[in-house]
Each structure stands twice: as C-alpha cells, then as structure tokens.
Structure 1
Amino acid sequence: MNPGFQMNPQIIIDTSYFAAAFLFIYGLKRMSSPVTARSGIVVAGFGMLVATLASFLYVFGINEAAEPHLNTNVALAAAALGLGTIWAWWSGKKVAMTAMPQMVALYNGMGGGAAAAIAAVELLRPGAVHETVPLVLAILGALIGSVALSGSLIAWAKLDGRIDGTWRMPGQQVFNGLIFLVTLTIGAYIIFIAGGHAHSGVVAAFFAGALLFGVLMTMPIGGADMPVVISLYNAFTGLAVGFEGYVLQNPALMIAGMVVGSAGTLLTLLMAKAMNRSVANVIFSNFGAAAEEQQGEIKGSQKPAEAGDAAINMRYAAKVIIAPGYGLAVAQAQHKLYEFVKLLVDAGVEVKFAIHPVAGRMPGHMNVLLAEAGVPYDMIFDLEDVNGEFKDADVAIVIGANDTVNPAARTNKSSPIYGMPILNVDQARQVYVVKRGQGKGYSGVGLFGSGKRAVFR
C-alpha cells in the first residue's frame, strides 16, 4: 500500500452505515421464520453495533473539520452507552416471558423518546441553520416520537397492572383533538414563523402537548387492544427515527426507521384484521367499556371432567389439537404441556398446536413460549392453516384461552368480539377447556359455548 495513502474518514462512516443497513434488513428477513428468527436478531444486533461504532467516529472528532458542531462530549456519550447496555442486558436476562410485552412497550417508548430528543437538540442548538424541509421533518419526528414515548409508557403500565381499567370522560375525543390541534399549531409556528429558532418555552410547550396527547390517546383504550397499540407505537417510533435520520443526514437511521416503520405498520394492520377491526376503531372506540356493558349472561353447558378420564380420551384419539392462550404463559405450564404431548406422540396420536394471531399479548408471544419448551416448529400452525382440521379432530384442548376460541364471535352481534376470526375448537368431537376460572376473557367477554364442552382443572 502507498504509505502516503490515507483513508477518508467519511468513506469509513458511509461504508459502516451501508453495512449496518444491510444487516438490519437481512436480520429482519431472517426473523420472518421461527427457525431463523434467533439468528436474525443476532444479525440485526451486529448491525446496530456497527452503526453505533460509526457514530463514534464523529464523537472522537474524525470528521470535526467538516462538521465542527458534531464534536460531542465523548465521556457523556460513552457513559450513556454503557448505562444503556448494562440496563438492557440485566433487564433482558431478568424479564419473564409473561412480561415480554411490557418490555417491548418500554423499548418502543425509548426509541420514540430518543427520536424526540434528537429533534429537541436540533431545535435548541444555538446558531443552527434550518432549511424548511428538514425542519418540517424534525417537528414531525418530534411529535410522533413524543406520542410514541408517552403512549408506550401508558401501554406498559396497563399491561403491567400499574394502571387498572381505562380512563374516560365526556367529550374526550373532542378534547384530545383540541390538544392535538394546539400542538400542531405550535409546531407550525416553530417552522414557518420562528424558522426553527423559537424561544425554549415555545419548544417546551410543543413537546408537552405531544406527550400529553400520547397519554390522552392511550388511556381510553381497553386492555384487549394493547397488542395493537404497542405495534402501532412501534411503527410510530420507526417513522420518527426515519425523519430524524433525514434531519441528521444519517443513512443508518433513515433505513432503520423506514424498515421498523413499515414492518410495524404492516403488523398493526394484520393484527387489526385478525380482530376484525380497523386501527381507527381500536384507537377511537371504547372497546373495554363496550365489553363490560354488553357482556350479558354466560350461556352454554360446562361439565367438569376428571383429568384421568380426559387423558384416556386423548390417549386413544387419532388427532388432538391444542389451542394455547395467555393463561398458559401465566401458569408457566408450557414445559409440562410438552411432556404430555410427547407421551401422546409416542402413543401414535397426531398432535398439533393452533396459534391465533393475537394469542397472548403480542404477536409471536405464544410461538416463543412453545419454542422455549422445545416444541418442534412443525407442530405449530397458524389459524388459517389449521382451522379447517378441527372438524376432523377427536379432541381439542383449550389452555388458558378465551376470546380467541369464543364462538360468540360468530353468532352474537351484541358481543364486542363479533366478527373476529376464532379457532374453530367447538367443531372438534370433544373439547376440553383448562382455565383458572369460568369468567371473562381479556376483552371482558365470557366464554360462550356449545353443549359439548368439558372443563377440568
């Protein structure tokens, strides 16, 4: 190599960002299959590491001559990175599978908050020159990121039981709309009148309005809709990160934000479709209240069964289909369940697991739970792939599920879950339901049934 040759630092940074973007996309692709999902997460994690190290090239002043304002406080940045890494590692190791949705909600919120913080730094930076398009995107990113932060924190508190029920008041949608309109007006003032150099008090009022709107928008939403809300805020976070990436001219942030935003949007739409509802209906309707008001008397026949009798029935069955729900996760019974399944398989019984798109409290929650117990992937089937087989099953077992198997979704037009696709467990020749109680499901609706259900504990 020519001793006089010197690599341009900007080339190193741009190449690193390209590599990080490739790793993000490739990792997301591998996450599409349970078989490769684990390695996909590792690949995407390496992408984030590469992007972080590339950012530190600015921190250490390699590009200081071209961008003097990027001479960041190295000690502060390193301390923040170290604290975040330690906290994430510790909390990730400690968190139970049943609390994974809460952790996802928190991480979503932190991503949105980080995007909003980037915008705040740009808006409050002395002597900054703001062009109109980057300024518009900075304000939009700040708005969306702030809403994702405060909304995700409320979703976490609801899922974690720190906030019980919902909070509503007369004319709440109108009030929420006014708060949003005022916040937009302040944002427009910062862009078109102040030119990005508004007083710090005005900027603070903008962020306060955005954070307040996130709280007000999330508080009325019922607990059964929290998975959709978390997915929606995930999309918000990605969108905010993409906007702020454009403001900073950071390709890694732009690509990562677009990937997360598009994936989160698609997931939100798929989940809403699985519940036979629109996203607008989730956000603007009083789903939880409707469930309580329209519950009505629980109908159907519930016949207790001895565990031994049920075991004999399943031992001599040709096909058994298991429909797990969140109750399985709470009981941490997946390992014992798989031990039982192996006994059936060894006896020549065909066993399949039927997974509803919204089983548990987040997409993929039940798949991960079963994989943790060692259940082979080829025994796990999605609703659309297995629903037609229930009529040929000798036994269907419902474990800790309610809304996802409730036949009221087909017939009871007054039920809040009417029209939601369900697992056709009631079409099996014999149905066993394992539940801690005989009351309501997560949506507040009781488990209606046909006369051939047996309940055992």
Structure 2
Amino acid sequence: MIPTWAQLVYLGCAVAFILALKGLAGPRTARAGNLIGAGAAVVAVATPFFYLDLDHVPLILAAVAIGSVIGVVGARRVQMTQMPQMVALFNGVGGGAAALVALVELYEMGPHAEEVGWFTLAATAFTILVGSVSFSGSAVTFAKLQELMTSRPVVFPGLPVVFGLAGIAGIALGVLVVTDPGVSFGIPLALLGLLVGVLLVLPVGGADVPIVISLLNAFTGLTVAAGGYVLGNVVLLVAGTLVGASGTFLTLLMARAMGRSVSNILFGALRGGSTLGAGEASDRPVRSAGPEDVAILLGYAERVIIVPGYGLAVAQAQHTLRELVDVLLTRGARVDYAIHPVAGRMPGHMNVLLAEAQVPYDQLVEMDDINGEFKHTDVVLVVGANDVVNPAAKTTPGAPIYGMPILDVDEARQVVFLKRSMRPGFAGIENELLFDPRTTLLFGDAKDSLAKVLSAVKGL
C-alpha cells in the first residue's frame, strides 16, 4: 500500500508534468518546461526508495547510474539531424520497459492471479502487447532513419495476411491472459507483439517514418498509463495519459500536414502504393548560378523569404544563414522564415535548429500564415528543402506527396535553390520547380555556399 505522503508527492509530480507540457508549447517557456518535467521525473523515481522495502538496492542504483550516464552522453552528443532517431530509441525503451514490468507483475501474481480483477488483467495484457509493439516498431524506425536498412517500404507476398493473423493471435493471447493468467501466455504475447511491431513499420517509408514514431510514442504512453493502473501508481497513470494523448494529437496533425490519413500512411504500401518515388537524379537542364549572382538577387530584393529544410540541419548552416539574414535586414529588406509543419524530420525541428542560431522567433512564420506572401516576394531562398515546396503535391495525382499542403514557393518572382545535387528529396520524386525559368540553382554544400553568398552581399 502506498502511503498518503507518497501519493501526494506523486500527485505533485503529475501536476508538474502537466505544467511541463504546457511550458513546452511555446519557445519562450520550453526550457523551463523541460526542467520542470525532468525534475518531477527525478522526484518520482527517487520516492519509492523512501517508502518501499526494496531488495537488491545496489543493483537498482547501478542500473540508474548506468542509464543516467548513457542518457546524458547520448543527449549531449546527438546531432540535430539525429533527433528523430533519438526520439525513436527513447520511445522504444519506454515501451519495452512497460512490457517487462507488466510481465513481472503477471509472474508475481502467481497462484493468486485469479483473485485479481479482470480489468487489471486486461490492462496487464494490453501493456505487454502494445509495449512490445512499440519497442520493436521503434527499433525498425530507428534503423530506417539511421540508414541501417532501406528507408523504402519493405513488403513481401502475404504480408497483409501474416500481419492480420499476428494481430488476431495477439488479441486471442490477450484474452487468455485474462481468463487463465500466467506468464505461459504472457511471454508468447510479448513475442507476438514484437513481431506485430516489425510488420507494422516495415511497409512504411520515406517521409512517413517520423509520423509512425509519433504514433508509437502514443502507444508507449498508453502502455505506461495502463501499467500505472496495474501498479496503482498515479504518476505513471497521469504521465502515460499525457504522452498517449499528445502523441495521438501530434500524429493526426502530422498526417494532416502531409495530406494523408493515418491508415494510408501505415497500410498504403500494402495496397500497392508507396511513400517513395524512384529516387533517381535528373539529367534535365536547369539554370544554375554562382554565389555572386545569388548575392545580387538577394542584395537588391525588398522582400525575401527563407525556406529551411533538412539539408540545412545536415550542413549545420543555420548560423551562417542567420548572419546572411541579418545583413539583408540592415540593407532594408523584409525577411521571414517560412516553416512547413513537417520541415526536417519532426515537427518543430526547424524551430529548434534556428533557435540554436539565435534567430528571433517572430521571424519564423507558419505555412498557413505565409503562403499568401509568396506572390508578393522578390526572392525565395530554399535551403535544404524539397518535398515541402514541390508543386507535384498540387498538380500530380498519384505522386507520393499528392494532396500534401506545401509552401507556395512557385508563386514567387524568383526562387533560389541551394542543393548539393539534383537528387530528389526524401519522397524520391522530381521537383518540377527546379526546372522553372524563374528558378536558379546554387550547387554545393549549404554552409559553404551561404558563406560565399554572405561575403558577396557584404561587398555590394
């Protein structure tokens, strides 16, 4: 039985998690929100040491120390471009931990399991199954984003049948855990969950992988909430519910930003569709220019919009870009950054990247608010983005990104693309805007190209 004082502490931690989530909703309060959430997590983890008669305390402390070191080192070393992979790993570990805790609880119920209420047993089965799905699914998303395996949809004959049978078998084993509780059904349920997680993510490819990470994050939150119910722990129940709800909401928002349904993202490849195109570089002629030519376009423009993308993060060019924008502002130009909801690999990716370069937040304008500005813009500078400005989303039915809301860059008077090569974007299809007479391409590493353009603009 958890003492009253500990329950009050847990309740305080739960309130802190809610405040942390509220703080994370805005850039000015995000740091404080993060610290509040982290502090509450430390208090929640430490509290059981003061009211439980724990066995193997040295081993527990050793595990906490090792995990803390891995977490700190990993978080400090991870690159901005690798944030989605880190989210996938952390999310998978959370789901796997919840499944293991539920298995241990099922084992400790032993001969008294039949005395436990059916709802508690159902929550236990749910945690084992969905936690295992989240763990293996997150591992596959990590492998796809880290390019340890192909990012293309992976399908094989009979995959829908195998996936369907595995899902039905998982539900059947979950029912058996409730009617005849014991690890003899719990362990096969966990193994089946691992299989379902792999089969769920394999057919997903391209830019849809981050959306699946968000969905799996919601799964993990729900398993933690269910585990909190099984353990009678209010902080797990509240924290898991928050993660589950926010993950679900984020998944729906990302899917809407891609102009797709969640079912299409998960199962589109099984119906013969694909989230990736051919992925071949084009040999069609384009208009290219040097840094001096681009500097002239920018230096004498009155209205400039910057469209940042994943390539900006890869090149680590955000600081040079901010310097260029500062120079343009001193020359009297009006400059904004156009932020697509799924620019980069995760929502908020570009916001964090630009905040790292001390870009004022009021210069970042969301897609819905800036799309009407492009027709009045002298020059749009696209740095590392592709799919989010590809007109095929509006003009080419059957394209992987068709229906996705995009930034209306094609309406601007002049467009400058900074690109390494003519290789397509993450969706693997050509961008017709690259071949438009109003478009100029500046080839090379984005950081190096921006440095040359910056130098040339200063010399005007």
TM, length-normalised to structure 2 = 0.91
**Separation in structure 1 between the aligned mates of residue 284 and residue 393 of structure 2, nearest angstrom:** 14
Runs of at least 5 residues in structure 2 that lack an aligned partner in the other structure: 444-460
Q: Is the 8 A contact 2:137 2:201 kept in 1?
A: yes
What's the counterpart of residue 66 of structure 1?
A: none
**Separation in structure 1 between the aligned mates of residue 361 and residue 253 of structure 2, nearest angstrom:** 22
Q: Is the 8 A contact 1:159 1:223 kept in 2?
A: no
Q: Show the 5 A alignment for 1:47-446.
A: 47-59=40-52, 61=53, 71-125=54-108, 126-129=110-113, 130-164=116-150, 165-192=152-179, 194=180, 196=181, 198=182, 200-286=183-269, 290=274, 302-446=286-430
CA 1:73–1:128 in 2, change beyond 3 Å: closer, same or farther? farther
**Separation in structure 1 between the aligned mates of residue 16 and residue 281 of structure 2, nearest angstrom:** 53
1:177 positional shift: 0.8
In the alignment, residue 189 of structure 1 is paired with which amino acid? L
RMSD: 1.9
Q: Is the 8 A contact 1:395 1:432 kept in 2?
A: yes
Q: How many residues align?
A: 436
Identify which range, 445-454 or 315-324, moves more after superposition: 445-454
**Separation in structure 1 between the aligned mates of residue 138 and residue 51 of structure 2, nearest angstrom:** 31
Q: Is the 8 A contact 1:294 1:415 kept in 2?
A: no
What's the counterpart of residue 447 of structure 2?
A: none
1:298 positional shift: 6.0
1:258 positional shift: 0.5
Q: Is the 8 A contact 2:381 2:416 kept in 1?
A: yes
**Separation in structure 1 between the aligned mates of residue 228 and residue 402 of structure 2, nearest angstrom:** 42
In the alignment, residue 299 of structure 2 is paired with which amino acid? R
Select the residue among 415, 418, 438 that pairs with 1:452. Answer: 438
Q: Is the 8 A contact 1:140 1:240 kept in 2?
A: yes
**Separation in structure 1 between the aligned mates of residue 200 and residue 146 of structure 2, nearest angstrom:** 18
CA 1:415–1:296 in 2, change beyond 3 Å: closer, same or farther? farther
Runs of at least 5 residues in structure 1 that lack an aligned partner in the other structure: 1-7, 62-70
Calculate percent identity across the aligned residue pairs.
Answer: 45
Q: Is the 8 A contact 1:122 1:128 kept in 2?
A: no
CA 1:122–1:408 in 2, change beyond 3 Å: closer, same or farther? same
Q: Is the 8 A contact 1:334 1:370 kept in 2?
A: yes
1:94 positional shift: 0.9
**Separation in structure 2 between the aligned mates of residue 300 and residue 409 of structure 1, nearest angstrom:** 20
Q: Is the 8 A contact 2:13 2:43 kept in 1?
A: yes
Deviations 1:65-102 (A, max 9, x none): xxxxxx44322221221111111011111111111110
**Separation in structure 1 between the aligned mates of residue 50 and residue 208 of structure 2, nearest angstrom:** 43
Deviations 1:411-442 (A, max 9, x none): 11121111100001111110001111112110
Deviations 1:172-208 (A, max 9, x none): 112101011112111211211x1x2x3x443221111
Q: Is the 8 A contact 1:299 1:448 kept in 2?
A: no
**Separation in structure 1 between the aligned mates of residue 255 and residue 283 of structure 2, nearest angstrom:** 27
Question: After TM superposition, which residue ranges in structure 1, 4 or more long, deviate above 2 angstroms?
Answer: 55-59, 126-130, 200-203, 287-302
Q: Is the 8 A contact 1:19 1:50 kept in 2?
A: no
Deviations 1:270-295 (A, max 9, x none): 00000010111111111996355677
Identify which range, 267-276 or 73-82, moves more after superposition: 73-82
In the alignment, residue 159 of structure 1 is paired with which amino acid? L
1:374 positional shift: 1.0
Q: Is the 8 A contact 1:438 1:447 kept in 2?
A: no
In the alignment, residue 167 of structure 1 is paired with which amino acid? V
**Separation in structure 1 between the aligned mates of residue 112 and residue 81 of structure 2, nearest angstrom:** 46
